[in-house]
A and B are shown apart, each in its own frame.
Chain A
């Protein structure tokens, strides 16, 4: 368990640092790249907790497709290469206050609710298999699955409709 905690700590630190950089950097491209780091870290965390399939899916979908979408978006909106001065709104201190309040509330709630609950070490070492996941999806949660696929279809068509050139 110690190794997992160490890895968790290192990856969490990297993630948090990158996330902070995502929201504070003045270079929009760097923000995307920092986001990649965060996403990767999330995938690593998935694997640490034994959610292998989701971790892999995370890498595939997020880092593979979403980031590419972001990059295309940056390109198509002629984002400035290099530092851009006015990337933050004028009222970012309000945002900071709100975030802090939110963090305070959440922290208090979490600490109060799950004080030092531990994850089951055995379950982590024996990860849940992909089969279990697919069983769950296609057996218990079939309808949400179909709904999601419908959603994806609608999003696809919608995006095309919205963004096509007249």
Chain B
């Protein structure tokens, strides 16, 4: 097994996740795409860890998982708040920063 296959897989997932972050209108969908990105990163970590034969890859992946979970929680809380205030989580309508 080549290292590159895992890395490329990770790159593909990452890019798909980037596309999702930038293209999706729904806030939850954006969060899902962020999950994609994070998982792609995890694959990279694990691959490198396996490549070098150290557990560091796994350690870092575990940390990423933990942070991702926390991030999803807070993110969803924010999305809920947006929904509560605007009755919609269409990110295209959230343009208070417009200048």
Contact = CB atoms under 8 A, between A and B. Distances in A.
Q: Are A and B in direct contact (Cβ within 8 Å)?
A: yes
A110 B2 CA distance: 12
B42 A42 contact: yes
**6 residue pairs, one from A and one from B, having the closest CB atoms:** A95-B22, A155-B70, A23-B20, A92-B23, A163-B77, A95-B23
Interface of B: 1-9, 11-29, 31-33, 35-36, 39, 42-43, 46-47, 49-51, 53, 55-59, 61-63, 65-74, 76-81, 83, 89-92
A5 B9 CA distance: 13
A113 to B, nearest CB: 9
Contact of A114 (B7, B13, B81): B7
Contact of A119 (B1, B56, B62, B77): B1
Given A62-B35, A118-B3, A49 B46 contact: yes
B71 A155 contact: yes
Nearest to A86: B25
Given A32-B32, A156-B73, A123 B78 contact: no
B62 A19 contact: no
Nearest to A166: B84
Contacts of A32: 32
A110 B92 contact: no
A126 to B, nearest CB: 10
B11 A110 contact: yes
